[in-house]
Structures are given as structure tokens and as C-alpha cells.
Amino acid sequence: MYEKDGEKYFVVDSHSHFWDASRENWKPGREEFAKGWIDCFYGYHQLGPPETHWDYERYLKVSAEDFERDMFIEGHVDHVVFQSTYLYDWYTEGFNTADKNGGIKDLLPQYSEQITVNGRFDPREGDAGLKRLEEDSKKWNLKGVKVYTAEWYEGSRGWRLDSPEAYRFLEKCQELGIKNIHAHKGPTIWPLDKDAFSVVDVDAAATDHQDLNFIIEHAAIPRIEDFCFMAVQEPNVYAGLSVVIGGLMHARPKFFAKVMGELLFWVGEDKMTFGGDYNIWVPKWQVEGFVDWQMPDDDAFTDYGKLTTATKKKILGLNAAKLYDIPVPAECQLDAGAGAMA
């Protein structure tokens, strides 16, 4: 729990990883892509404050002790939601699997109740993928999944959420009680294809599955206008702020203000969730910086609203807590009606 100026913030980091990008895990014959992927992440890492930068070797694979310190002891995080990214095309044991993430529960049993493990699906895996989704749901009591529509698979370089094949998996999620669909729709990562992360396929998928929540990670930047004008009409589409805060708040403050302004105006403070994107960045400076942040006063930003304390509490944790049925201490809750709608 983070406290500042007498206000207590319940922090849910709804976009975190416990990845293995070590050289030993680079798939033979695919080392170029495995290295290129994590090198791209390491480039994003440089967008944080200089004092938070790590050396490359540490970045490849952190320990459970690192995770405990960075998230729970120093990071102000009260609850973590792990997002799975498999990438078996490039990493022998997978980059960031549900089993790898869930293993933290055994390594840090004292935090077990503060960790939620999300699974994933890829419709190109067909019946085998449906079976795996059922097994993961039972094993991890899944409430959410992460999808990567640009991931490579057996020669295919992407898929769409509004395809008949994807609908089979979305319907399976409904059947299993998995209600939160986190879709990476943001900056590309080499060597994936930028256009495969387009947000155009979210519209129909969200309309056709009203009882699922579609959390669009990275808020579809750089396609912020397209995303906002789509999300405003879909009540079950949310903006995940992973990369938005970590990648822009420090390095691109004016662009960050524009993105936040558009999101607050169109999508609204009730449909935005915080994600620190560990270990691209640690959450500490993001939480502290966002609590202190306010829309600039200069003329270029006069048509954007100011952030209230209630706005920041919703974004940093209360919205995600609602999506995942996470109990919130009474001292961190808001009175009914606090804040503003889009």
C-alpha cells in the first residue's frame, strides 16, 4: 500500500511477468530472434529514470528475491496479476509461461494470496489449445488470459480476435468463467509485425462477447485515437496503462499528457488499469510518479481534465480489483460516485 499526503492507495499491478530470457533458454537456431526480443525490451527499459536502469545480465532473468523486493517490499504493490507470453518459437522453455509465473507462489508462499496468474491462448493451436486452456484454468483458477495477436506460430505471423477460430477460444473462456481478456495492442517488438497489433479486431470481438472484459494493454499506442474512438462505444473495453506510464511518463512527458488526456476524455477513469510491466521497469517510480503527476497547465492541454485523487486511486488499483474480485481494505476504498465518468 502506498501512502502520500494522508491518502492511501491500494495498488494492483495488473501487468507483470517473471520471464526467462537467459541465453540458456534461447532456442537453437532461433537465437537471433530470442536476443532481438529481449534487446527490444531492454531498449524500453532505458526510458525509465537513469537511476532505475539495470545491467543487461540482470535484466535477462531475475530471481524470486528480486521480484519480492521490487514488487512487494519497495514497489508499493498490494496485488500482482501475471500476464503470460509463451514465444516457444524463440525460447525453448517459453519466455514467460503460466507455470513459470505461478511458480512464484511456491517460491514466495507468504505472498501467495497477493498473486493472480493469468493464462493465454492462441487459436492457431486448435483443439490442443482448447484442451490446454481448460487444464490451465483448472490448475490456476484462471480469471484472465493474455493474447498476443502478432506471435509467430508454425510459419504464421499473426491472427485476429474477430476470427471464427478466436471466437471458439473466447466462447471457451466464457464457459470456464475466464472473464478478462488482456490483448497486447501497442508498440511492436522486433521481430513481430506492427500491423498484427492493430486494434481493429477488438471492436467486433467486444460487441459479440458482452460478458467478457477486453483490457487493451498499452492502450494501443501509437494508435491512440483509433483506440479511444472504438473504446468509447464498447462498455467492456478497458485501457491497460502498461508502457503508457513506464514508457512515456518520464521520457516523453508531453506525449504522456496527450495520451492520458485522450484516455480520460473518451475512455474514462473507471476503465483504466495500472500495469508496471515488470521487469521492463520496476513499479516504485511509476506509482510514486503517477500519484504526483498532474496535467500540464500550459495552453496545449487546457481541454483535458485534471486528475483527482479518486482518479488516481481507481487507476492504480481499484478498477483492476473490481475486474478480478480482489478485496480492498476499507481505508483504501472510495465513496460511491467518487470521481468522474468519461
Domain 2-326 listed as CATH 1.25.40.10: no
Q: What is the spatial distance between Cα 213 and Cα 261, in angstroms, rounded to a whole number?
A: 22
Give per-residue pLDDT as tens, 46-102.
999 999 999 999 999 999 999 999 999 999 999 999 999 999 999 999 999 999 999
Parts of the chain with a pLDDT under 70: 337-342
Residue 130 neighbours by CB distance under 10 Å = 16
pLDDT of residue 22: 98
Q: What is the spatial distance between Cα 103 and Cα 95, in angstroms, rounded to a whole number?
A: 14
Residue with cell 467518487: 338
- What values do phi and psi take at 220, rounded to 5? 65, 15
The residue extents of the domains of the chain are 2-326
pLDDT of residue 335: 82
Alpha carbon of residue 94 to chain centroid: 18
Instruction: Output the CA angle 20-26-28, nearest 5 degrees.
Output: 155
Alpha carbon of residue 166 to chain centroid: 20
pLDDT of residue 342: 47
